[in-house]
């Protein structure tokens, strides 16, 4: 409890202070018309909660599904490259190539090829967050102690046994670092996919509000995306603290 208060207390106080200053500046007329106060944004949420949560759920579902697909594929690809080193360069090079194409350029192309359905949204999310997942996994699988690897080789351990009993446990701090970095990117990918074509979602709500010049709703959707990204990052940070108890050297 004490550690939780020390970890979350100062950021919470800072957020409350920032909101107070923000609202005070708005009431005193110190902000332009296109920046609403927190009270206006809250009134927008309270006035149409069903609209907000009805658009929040599709974004969460798309981001979680695409993130899961990317995590499974990248972890399997990294494990294969660890057991078969000649495949490391092609797998890593393909990931770099995919990541080098901006997400805003990938989205319309995939919309043309696959349509604007849920499958296209999931693929965009997976492509958006795959690179940090792969990099973290590759670095982690190569971080095992060389002396321990030599010992297992001397015991005639198979590549699979080496992966399961040594490489994978040693990779967990790096693996979770990749998971934490990729989690907010999944939200970004989901919103971008909804911009390319969707009937619902925070991205769609953001676009509709922008076109109708509904400033409070634009800010509500933007802040919801920010909060969702922070929660995704924080969730993996909490999971990491519970699982990786032997390593305090990495920033969590």
How long a stretch of residues is the chain?
A: 252
- The whole-number pLDDT of residue 2 equals 59
CB atoms near residue 67 (< 10 Å): 26
Its pTM stands at 0.84
Whether the Cβ atoms of residue 157 and residue 163 lie closer than 8 Å to each other: no
**Residue 35 lies inside a defined structural domain of this protein:** no
- The whole-number pLDDT of residue 4 equals 55
**Residue 252 lies inside a defined structural domain of this protein:** no
- Distance from C-alpha of 153 to C-alpha of 144, rounded to nearest angstrom: 13
Q: Which residue ranges of the chain lie beneath pLDDT 50?
A: 249-252
CATH number, domain of 66, equals 1.10.3720.10
Number of domains in the chain: 1
**Residue 38 lies inside a defined structural domain of this protein:** no
- Distance from C-alpha of 158 to C-alpha of 145, rounded to nearest angstrom: 17
**Residue 139 lies inside a defined structural domain of this protein:** yes
CB atoms near residue 75 (< 10 Å): 20
**Residue 1 lies inside a defined structural domain of this protein:** no
Q: DSSP letter at 144? A: S
- The whole-number pLDDT of residue 219 equals 94
Greatest Cα pair distance in the chain: 74
Return the closest-CA partner of residue 104 out of 84, 124, 78.
124
**CA 154, 156, 157, 160: dihedral to nearest 10 degrees?**
130
**Residue 13 lies inside a defined structural domain of this protein:** no
- The whole-number pLDDT of residue 43 equals 92
Helix (H, G, I), strand (E, B) or coil at 115: coil
- Distance from C-alpha of 79 to C-alpha of 233, rounded to nearest angstrom: 24
Place of tokens 């206006």: 40
**Residue 141 lies inside a defined structural domain of this protein:** yes
Residue 204's domain comprises 54-243
Q: What angle do CA 85, 86, 88 make, to 5 degrees?
A: 65
**Residue 193 lies inside a defined structural domain of this protein:** yes
């Amino acid at each position: 409890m004490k550690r939780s208060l020390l970890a979350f207390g100062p950021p919470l106080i800072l957020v409350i202070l920032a909101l107070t200053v923000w609202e005070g500046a708005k009431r005193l007329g110190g902000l332009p018309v296109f920046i609403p106060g927190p009270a206006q944004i809250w009134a927008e949420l309270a006035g149409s909660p069903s609209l907000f949560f009805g658009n929040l759920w599709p974004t969460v579902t798309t981001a979680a599904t695409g993130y899961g697909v990317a995590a499974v594929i990248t972890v399997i690809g990294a494990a294969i490259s660890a057991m078969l080193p000649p495949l490391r360069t092609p797998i890593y090079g393909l990931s770099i190539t995919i990541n080098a194409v901006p997400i805003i350029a990938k989205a319309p192309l995939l919309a043309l090829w696959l349509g604007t359905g849920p499958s296209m949204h999931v693929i965009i999310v997976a492509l958006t967050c795959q690179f940090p997942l792969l990099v973290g996994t590759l670095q982690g699988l190569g971080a095992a102690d060389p002396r321990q690897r030599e010992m297992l080789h001397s015991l005639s351990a198979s590549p699979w046994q080496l992966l399961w009993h040594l490489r994978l446990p040693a990779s967990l701090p790096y693996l979770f670092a990749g998971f934490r970095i990729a989690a907010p990117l999944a939200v970004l990918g989901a919103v971008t996919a909804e911009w390319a074509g969707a009937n619902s979602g925070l991205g769609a709500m953001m676009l509709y509000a922008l076109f109708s010049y509904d400033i409070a709703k634009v800010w509500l959707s933007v802040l919801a995306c920010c909060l969702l990204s922070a929660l995704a990052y924080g969730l993996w940070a909490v999971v990491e603290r519970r699982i990786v108890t032997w390593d305090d050297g990495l920033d969590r």
